[in-house]
Amino acid sequence: MRNWSILKNNWDILIIFISYFFLVILIFPYFQFKILGDEISYINIAHAYALGHWANAINGYWSPMYSWLMVPFLIIFGFKPIYGVYISKFISIFIGLFTIFCVRRMSQKLDINKNIERILLFVLVPSITFFVLLYNTPDLLLASLLILYLSILFQRNYADNLKYAVLCGIIGALAFFTKSFAFPFFIITFILFNLIFYFRIKIQIQRKNILKGSILGLTIFLLISGLWIGVIDEKYDKPTISTSGEYNQALVGPEYKVNIMDTGISPIYYKGLIEPPNEDTISIWDEFSYMNLDKWNPFGSWQNMNYELNLIVANIVYSFNITESYLPIAIILLISMVVVAFSKSIKKTSRNNLKYLLLTIFVYTGGYCLITPEWRYLWFIFLLLMISGFYIIDLLNKNNVITVKTRNIMLIFLICTLIFQPILEINYFVNQKDNSYYLSNSLQKEFNINGNLASNSWSTLEIAYYLNSKFYGNITTDNSTLLNQELMKFNIDYYFSWNSTSNYNLSNYHEITNNKIDGLKIYSRK
């Protein structure tokens, strides 16, 4: 009877979960083999953990949480490249469920009307489905954990119980294990909001609780995070919370100009062949920490400072464009948040919630604008804007600013705008062919390709993964002698030449496809 009662009280979330799984199953066949460099790296790291190769598995660039989630399944099922892809997608699909749960909890803490909450969760289903099938990366997990963190931090009785600060510290550490960006984000927001709460609350006992909680939460966060920081400090023999920030900061600087202003090319694409760092990596992509890039200091000169300021402005504009490309009414939502947050016709608690959400959006986006924002990095912002849209409509109705009829019209408009883009995106990618898996199978069967690969394009990385081979990167030259020397120097077994008009005469290699594969020539070592 108790189980029946639980089902009866949660019928709505069960229907949403069923709808989500139905949509995933429906379009999964179109995405099942899609995989990119970042996904491959997380899988390879998980494989190293599963084999017990701890020294190789510990990675300063790619945060560990997503790989850790895959490890038990790799131990149970063993490792084949296709298993790694399926396990990664399986993990991602269940992260989608966790996202729905976290958004639901956030909407409940904001006291959103139950019916509006159900609509919000249904509207999220296409977006989450699209993300989990296209990107098998920790970005959605980070967004979910941060929403869960905010749902605890923004509780009305946060100041009454120290356990909430403890939970914030634990979730913050899990977010840091998911992506290193969470480390500064948590410290800034946790201190900032606790200070706001401290000065807004007048009851002395609650102020003491907030002071104790902020110290306790930060201590727990730093203690748990410090375990991983200590491990990577030991491996790389330098103090760091992650090597990703250092690497990406070097990329966007005036030396390489891999940013939205100058659209430079990453040195990984022109530095020539690079040996994979260890036996568990298939390419340098798995361990960017070992890429030696020239560093720069934004504070080193006025010229550098001016470059950084221009970069920040360009990134702000770019972040807004990214957000609008997926949420066409993002500007309307942001303006509405500001207007309602300062409207006297709305209850103070609700206005404060909107101010906190705006502040969170500002801090999070600002952090990425210092270096480089990307579409999948901003999913936390997408989710907050979606939640805020439904929250605002609910507030306006509850405070008698709009009628029920107007509320329903606004809801219909919001629903249409929020589901339109994900459906378009799904339709686009469903119609995109991804031949890497099928081509790798064909190459394996017909030519038994395996070993050390090189190419004139980094797109070969996906094929190398499916062939369970090492990929040394790309080298482009019209000089057959120089190409042959470079391939022999790195002990390359096969050279993939894509869409090239050059017919290489390599003394140690011969072409094996005989024009059987359109746009591809493969040179095998004799």
* pLDDT tens-digit map of 222-274: 999 999 999 999 999 899 999 998 899 989 988 888 888 877 788 888 888 99
Length of the chain in terms of residues written: 526
How much is the average pLDDT of 386-401?
A: 95
How much is the average pLDDT of 324-336?
A: 93
Angle at 231 between CA 228 and CA 237, to 5 degrees: 135
Question: Range with the lowest mean pLDDT among 195-204, 223-232, 264-273, 308-317?
Answer: 264-273
Q: Tell me the pLDDT band of 6, cut-offs 50, 70 and 90.
A: low
- This prediction's pTM: 0.94
Fold of 435-524: D-Maltodextrin-Binding Protein; domain 2 (3.40.190)
CB atoms within 10 A of CB 434: 15
Instruction: Look at the alpha carbons of 197, 199, 202, 208 in this order and tell me if their dihedral is positive or negative.
Output: positive
Any alpha helices (H) in 135-181, and if so which ranges?
Answer: 139-153, 163-178
What pLDDT, on a 0 to 100 scale, did the predictor assign at position 263?
75
First CA to last CA distance, the chain:
73
What secondary structure, in 3-state letters, does 20-43 show? Answer: HHHHHHHHHHHHCCCCCHHHHHHH
pLDDT tops 60 at residue 3: no
How much is the average pLDDT of 174-185?
A: 97
Q: What is the location of CATH 3.40.190 in the chain?
A: 435-524
Q: What confidence tens digit (pLDDT) does each residue in 403-432 have?
A: 999 999 999 999 999 998 898 888 888 777
What pLDDT, on a 0 to 100 scale, did the predictor assign at position 4?
60
Instruction: Encode burial over 151-181: b for 16+ CB neighbours within 10 A, e otherwise.
Output: bbbbeeebbeebebbbbbbbbbbbbbbbbbb
Question: Range with the lowest mean pLDDT among 131-140, 305-314, 466-475, 495-504?
Answer: 495-504
499: left (phi over 0), alpha (psi -120 to 50) or beta: left
